[in-house]
Amino acid sequence: MFDESNSPHVSGSSASKLVRQAIEVFQRTRGTLPKRIVVHKTSRFNEGEKEGFLAGAENVEHVDLLAFGTRDIKLVRWGTNPPIRGTMVRLPDQSVLLYTSGYIPYLDVYPGPRVPSPLEILEHHGRTQIDILCKEILALTKLNWNNAKFCTKAPITIGFAKRVGAIMRESPPDIEINDVGTKFKFYM
End-to-end alpha carbon distance in the chain: 27
User: The pTM is what?
Assistant: 0.82
Nearest residue to 39 via CA among 163, 150, 133: 133
Calculate the alpha carbon distances from 158 to 105, 106, 118, 119, 170 in Å.
26, 27, 15, 12, 19
Nearest residue to 99 via CA among 128, 121, 122, 125: 121
Q: How many CB atoms are closer than 10 A to CB 183?
A: 8
- Vertex 145 angle, CA 7 and 86, to 5°: 65
**Strand 62-69 relative to strand 88-90, pairing:** unpaired
> Residue 10 has what pLDDT?
86
Domain chopping of the chain, boundaries:
1-63
Nearest residue to 158 via CA among 64, 80, 66, 75: 66
Phi/psi at 103 (nearest 5 deg)?
-65, 135
pLDDT in tens, the chain (188 residues): 444 444 478 899 999 999 999 999 999 999 999 999 999 999 899 999 999 999 999 999 999 999 998 878 888 888 888 999 999 999 999 999 999 989 999 889 888 888 889 999 999 999 999 999 999 999 998 876 677 777 778 888 888 777 777 777 777 777 766 666 555 545 54
Helix axes 12-30, 47-56, angle to 10 degrees: 30
Classify residue 142 as exposed, middle or buried by CB count within 10 Å of its CB (0-12, 13-18, 19+).
middle
Beta bridge partners of 39: 65
* Exposure letters 31-65 (e unless 16+ CB within 10 A, then b): eeebeebbbbbebbbbebbbebbbebbeebeebbb
Classify residue 10 as exposed, middle or buried by CB count within 10 Å of its CB (0-12, 13-18, 19+).
middle
